[in-house]
């Protein structure tokens, strides 16, 4: 049994409606029979919105209520306002526009060092040489064969010229060298005869 002069309380559960309007989160609590001065609206350090009230009811009892709500993270607590009208308490919580996070940017790949670029360039230059077509190889072989045939033909020409020189050499000896030798021999014989004749004439004079 409650002691004398101690009020008896009856808990009351108000109807709560939540909505958004003009960039504000609005809480509407239906508390009929309460006066404005019988209602308290508080903001705690943990960002809790506390709404409570009590009033004399009947048969020396009191009616009371207590509600707590989470304050939105993008709401500035100093801008929260409350208005009581026709048995309904309206609490407005202005919301700040949230920043739209930009999508993460993918980092551009780092360019390879200059030495690696040079090596890649050399590899790319060597690959076409390695991937030469069979037709190119056939052309190279045909060219080498033609060079070999040309050298053989040139050898035949040279050997033919040597044979012709051998054939021409005896003719040159017969036409030029032999007459010269004969003329020299005749000259020597004539000179010897002149000397002999000169010696015989001297002996006859004596």
The pLDDT tens digits for 31-47 are: 999 999 999 999 999 99
Residue 126 reports pLDDT greater than 80:
no
Bridge pairing between strands 61-70 and 8-11: parallel
Report pLDDT for 128: 52
User: In CATH, what class is 8-94?
Assistant: mainly beta
pLDDT in tens, 9-38: 999 999 999 999 999 999 999 999 999 999
Residue 115 reports pLDDT greater than 80:
no
3-state DSSP assignment of residue 80: coil
Query: Of the candidates 82, 76, 100, 88, which has an alpha carbon nearest to the alpha carbon of residue 23?
Result: 76
Report pLDDT for 7: 82
Report pLDDT for 149: 55
- pTM (2 d.p.): 0.46
Cross-strand pairs, 75: 95
Of residues 143 and 152, more confidently modeled:
143
CB contact set of 77 (below 8 Å; sequence gap of 6+): 43, 47, 71
At residue 190 the predicted structure's pLDDT band, cuts being 50, 70 and 90, is confident
Integer CA distances (angstroms), 13 to 38, 39, 42, 178, in order? 15, 14, 18, 156
DSSP 36: G
Of residues 193 and 127, more confidently modeled:
193
pLDDT in tens, 165-182: 555 555 655 667 777 888
For range 192-206, the mean pLDDT: 63
Report pLDDT for 146: 61
The C-alpha R_g of the chain, in whole angstroms, comes to 67
Report pLDDT for 191: 81
């Amino acid at each position: 049994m409650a002691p004398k002069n101690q009020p008896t309380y009856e808990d009351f559960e108000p109807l709560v409606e939540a909505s958004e309007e003009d960039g504000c989160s609005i809480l509407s609590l239906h508390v009929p029979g309460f006066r404005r001065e019988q209602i308290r609206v508080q903001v705690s350090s943990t960002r809790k919105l506390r709404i409570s009230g009590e009033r004399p009811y009947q048969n020396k009892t009191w009616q009371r209520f207590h509600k707590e709500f989470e304050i939105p993270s993008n709401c500035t607590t100093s801008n929260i306002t409350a208005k009581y009208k026709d048995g309904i308490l309206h609490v407005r919580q202005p919301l700040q526009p949230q920043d739209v996070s930009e999508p993460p940017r993918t980092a551009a790949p780092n360019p390879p060092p200059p030495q690696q670029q040079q090596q890649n360039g050399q590899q790319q230059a060597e690959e076409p040489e390695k991937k030469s077509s069979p037709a190119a190889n056939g052309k190279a072989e045909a060219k080498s064969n033609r060079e070999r045939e040309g050298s053989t033909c040139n050898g035949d020409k040279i050997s033919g010229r040597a044979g012709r020189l051998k054939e021409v050499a005896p003719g040159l000896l017969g036409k030029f060298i032999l007459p010269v030798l004969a003329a020299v021999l005749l000259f020597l014989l004539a000179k010897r005869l002149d000397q002999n004749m000169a010696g015989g004439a001297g002996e006859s004079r004596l």
